[in-house]
Amino acid sequence: MNRKFARAGAAASVAVLFATLLGAGMSGAVAQDQAEPAALETANESAQQAEAEMEPAVRFVASPMVQDIPADSDEVAPIASSNSASLRELVATVSNESEPTGELRCLAQAVYFESRGEPLSGQLAVARVVINRAESNLFPDDYCSVVTQRAQFSFVRGGRIPDPNAASAAWQRARAIARIAHQELWDSEAGEALYFHATTVRPRWADRMAHVAQIDRHIFYK
What's the 3-state SS for 41-108?
Answer: HHHHHHHHHHHHHHHHHHCCCCCCCCCCCCCCHHHHCCCCCCCCCCHHHHHHHHCCCCCCCHHHHHHH
From CA 141, how far away is CA 217, in angstroms rounded? 27
Average pLDDT of the chain is 76
The reported pLDDT for the residue numbered 161 is 97
> Considering the chain, what percentage of its residues have pLDDT values greater than 70?
63
The reported pLDDT for the residue numbered 122 is 98
From CA 180, how far away is CA 81, in angstroms rounded? 11
The reported pLDDT for the residue numbered 49 is 52
Higher-confidence residue of 11 and 83: namely: 83
What would the mean pLDDT of 186-203 be, rounded to a whole number?
96
What is the pLDDT confidence band of residue 9, given thresholds at 50, 70 and 90? very low
The string of pLDDT tens digits covering residues 16-69 is 333 343 344 443 333 333 444 444 444 445 545 544 444 433 333 333 333 333
The string of pLDDT tens digits covering residues 85-98 is 999 999 999 877 78
From CA 26, how far away is CA 43, in angstroms rounded? 19
What is the pLDDT confidence band of residue 10, given thresholds at 50, 70 and 90? very low
What is the pLDDT confidence band of residue 125, given thresholds at 50, 70 and 90? very high
**C-beta separation of 151 from 176 below 8 A:** no
Judge whether residue 197 has pLDDT over 60: yes
Burial category of 212 from C-beta neighbours within 10 Å (exposed 0-12, middle 13-18, buried 19 and up): buried
